[in-house]
Amino acid sequence: DTEVTQTPKHLVMGMTNKKSLKCEQHMGHRAMYWYKQKAKKPPELMFVYSYEKLSINESVPSRFSPECPNSSLLNLHLHALQPEDSALYLCASSITGLAGNYEQYFGPGTRLTVT
């Protein structure tokens, strides 16, 4: 089973709203990732969690707040977003974030629209 699930599938939010994106995997993977993707562009890395600890923050604005409650779950809390934050948000996981284990499995994404 190489499934990563994400909820919700679609989200429309105003600039003053607070919402959360959720990601779950049950493959026993210990590294989890958040990416942002614009149309016809490659995914842009936002955050990496390794063994439930934040290991990479790619200078993401503080209006995006990640959380890893346990090894299977990853959340992305959203607050005071801007219209330019509208994008497909992808979650991914890999066995570990260590050398030799780079295959990442992606979820279906959350299509976020900020109005």
Partner 1 sequence: TQLLEQSPQFLSIQEGENLTVYCNSSSVFSSLQWYRQEPGEGPVLLVTVVTGGEVKKLKRLTFQFGDARKDSSLHITAAQPGDTGLYLCAGASGSSNTGKLIFGQGTTLQVKP
Q: In the set 21, 31, 68, 112, which binds partner 1 (CB under 8 A)?
A: 31
Q: In the set 48, 76, 87, 112, which binds partner 1 (CB under 8 A)?
A: 48
Decide: 71 and 94 in contact? Cβ < 8 Å: no
Select 16 or 53, whichever has its Cβ closest to partner 1.
53
Peptide linkage before 61 cis (omega within 30 of 0): no
Alpha carbon distances (Å) from 5 to 21, 25, 60, 97, 100:
11, 6, 23, 19, 24
Could you say whether residue 51 binds partner 1 (CB under 8 A)? no
Which parts of this chain interact with partner 1 (CB under 8 A)? 2, 4, 6, 31, 33, 40-43, 45, 48, 50, 55-56, 88, 90, 92, 94, 96-109, 111
